[in-house]
Chain A
C-alpha cells in the first residue's frame, strides 16, 4: 500500500534518486508542451493559447481521479499523503503576486528552469530573480511573520469546507475542467493563431471528456470517504492522521499526529 516511502520501502538516499527521476519526466513534459518559452506561457493571459490552463486542469483531474480511485481500492493511504495546510490570507496574496510575477517575468518557478536549460537568457535571469526574492522574503520574515501565519485553517480539503463528500467534489472538478476546455477552445479559435494551436480529433476529445465526467460520477455515487472510513474502522488500530495541523478546524475529532515524519516545507 502506498505511499511506499511512508511505509518504509526505501530510505532517504533512494528517495533523492527517485526525485531526480520524477523530475526528469516533469521537466521533459513541460518542455514538450512548450513551457520553456515565455511567449507560449503568457499567451494564456492574452487569450491566444490556453495550453497552460489545459495542462494544469488535465493533470489535476487525472491525478485527483487516480488518488481517489487508488484510495477506494486500498492501494494508497491518503491520510499518509502530505496535505498542504491552508493559510488563506497569505495564499490569496501570494497567488495574486505570483500571477503578476508570471506575466511580468514570463515564467513560473519550474518553467523558468526548463527555459534556462534550453538556453533562454530571460529564463536564467528569472531564476536569479527568484533567488533574490527568496532572500528578500527571508530578510523581511520578522516583519511578515504574523501575516504569514494568518488565516490558518489546518490541512483542510474542499470537502471539509463545503461539507460534501470527496466524490461530489471530484465530479464537480471534472465538470469544471470539461467546461473550461470547451470555453477556452471557443476563445482560442477566435483569437489564437491556427498555425500553432494543437490539432486534435473532436471525437477523441469528446470521449476523453465523457470519461472524466463518468469517472467523477462513479466517485460521486460510491462516496470514497465512506469506503475509506469503513475500512479504517474495520481495522483494530485507529488510523493515524499524519497531517501536520497546528490548529485543527472544527471538524470530527482527529487522533494526534503520529507515524510518518513531516518536514514543514514538504509542499513546494
Chain B
C-alpha cells in the first residue's frame, strides 16, 4: 500500500509557526547540523583531548568550559528525534528497513548513504549551516547568503540527480 503523507502546505505553515515561536522566544531559528559537529568534537575530545584543543575548529565547540554537547541545537536535535519517533509511531511507520529504489542493492545504497552523509557533514560546516539552520532559518529572516545557499542546494541536487537515477527510480 502506498502512503499518502500530510499535506505539505499545512505542514509548511505549521513549521513556519514553530520557527516563528523559536525566533520570538530565543531570538534564533532551527537547525541541527552543528549537533553532529559537536558529537564529533565530543568524541575526539574524549579520545585525544590535546589534539582537539590544538585544532581551531574543535576548540570553537570546547569554549566556555561546558561539554560541547550542552548546546541549544543538540537539545533541539534530540527533541526532533523524539517528535519524529512519536509521529512515526502513531502512524505505524517505525520499521527496520533500508529505503532504496527498486534497482539498487542494500549494500550499495548504504555506501551511498555514508558518502552522502560525509559530503553533507562537510558542506554544512563549510556553509555554516544546513537546510534548516541556514536555508530555512536564514531565508525567513531574508538573510542574503541564506537565499543564495538555498538555491545552490537545489542547483547541486538537480545537477547530480540524473547520475543517481539508478539509486532512486
Tell me whether B12 and A94 are in contact (CB under 8 A). no
* Cα–Cα distance between A173 and B128 once the two chains are bound (Å): 23
Interface majority SS (helix, strand, loop, mixed), chain B: helix
Contacts of A87 in B (CB 8 A): 128, 145
Tell me whether B124 and A94 are in contact (CB under 8 A). yes
* Cα–Cα distance between A40 and B4 once the two chains are bound (Å): 10
Q: Which of A5, A85, A86, A98 contacts B119, CB < 8 Å?
A: A98
A254 lies within 8 A of chain B by Cβ? no
* Cα–Cα distance between A95 and B152 once the two chains are bound (Å): 5
Contacts of B75 in A (CB 8 A): 16-17, 19-20, 23
Would you list which residues of chain A between 29 and 73 have a CB under 8 Å from chain B? Answer: 29-34, 36-40, 42-46, 50-51, 53-64, 66-67, 70
Total of A-B residue pairs, C-beta within 8 Å: 578
A245 lies within 8 A of chain B by Cβ? no
* Cα–Cα distance between A57 and B127 once the two chains are bound (Å): 20
Chain A residue nearest in CB terms to B168 = A42
Tell me whether B129 and A23 are in contact (CB under 8 A). no
Contacts of B131 in A (CB 8 A): 56, 98, 102, 108-111
* Cα–Cα distance between A264 and B60 once the two chains are bound (Å): 8
Chain B residue nearest in CB terms to A126 = B117
Contacts of B132 in A (CB 8 A): 26, 108-110, 268
Tell me whether A55 and B168 are in contact (CB under 8 A). no
Chain A residue nearest in CB terms to B111 = A125
Interface string of B130-169 (1 = CB under 8 A from A): 1111111111111111111111111111111100110111
Would you list which residues of chain A between 63 and 94 have a CB under 8 Å from chain B? Answer: 63-64, 66-67, 70, 75-76, 78, 80-88, 90-94
A240 lies within 8 A of chain B by Cβ? no
Chain A residue nearest in CB terms to B85 = A117
Of the candidates A6, A15, A32, A117, the one having the most CB atoms from chain B within 10 angstroms of its own CB is A32
The verdict on A104 contacting B115 (CB below 8 Å), with A29-B11, A94-B124, A133-B121 known, is yes
Tell me whether B155 and A133 are in contact (CB under 8 A). no
Tell me whether B70 and A16 are in contact (CB under 8 A). yes
Interface majority SS (helix, strand, loop, mixed), chain A: helix
Contacts of A200 in B (CB 8 A): 7, 9
A220 lies within 8 A of chain B by Cβ? no
The verdict on A95 contacting B76 (CB below 8 Å), with A28-B84, A39-B101, A196-B3 known, is no
* Cα–Cα distance between A144 and B55 once the two chains are bound (Å): 13
Tell me whether B99 and A39 are in contact (CB under 8 A). yes
A260 lies within 8 A of chain B by Cβ? yes
Tell me whether A20 and B117 are in contact (CB under 8 A). no
* Cα–Cα distance between A117 and B77 once the two chains are bound (Å): 12
Tell me whether B73 and A19 are in contact (CB under 8 A). yes
Contacts of A161 in B (CB 8 A): 144
Tell me whether B20 and A62 are in contact (CB under 8 A). yes
Tell me whether A268 and B148 are in contact (CB under 8 A). no
What is the minimal beta-carbon distance from B152 to any residue of chain A, in angstroms?
A: 3
* Cα–Cα distance between A153 and B127 once the two chains are bound (Å): 14
Tell me whether B149 and A94 are in contact (CB under 8 A). yes
What is the minimal beta-carbon distance from A259 to any residue of chain B, in angstroms?
A: 11
A residues neighboring B (CB under 8 Å): 2-6, 15-34, 36-40, 42-46, 50-51, 53-64, 66-67, 70, 75-76, 78, 80-88, 90-123, 125-139, 141-142, 144-145, 148, 153, 155-161, 166, 169-170, 173, 181, 193, 195-200, 205, 208, 260, 264-268
List 10 A-B residue pairs with CB atoms under 8 Å apart, sorted by A's residue number: A16-B75, A26-B83, A32-B5, A45-B157, A83-B141, A92-B152, A103-B161, A104-B164, A107-B116, A126-B114
Give the 5 A-B CB pairs with smallest separation, nearest first.
A105-B116, A129-B117, A268-B133, A23-B79, A133-B121
Given contacts A113-B77, A117-B82, A134-B125, could you give 10 more A-B pairs where the C-beta distance is less than 8 Å?
A: A20-B78, A26-B18, A45-B160, A58-B13, A108-B130, A118-B85, A130-B120, A133-B120, A138-B55, A196-B5
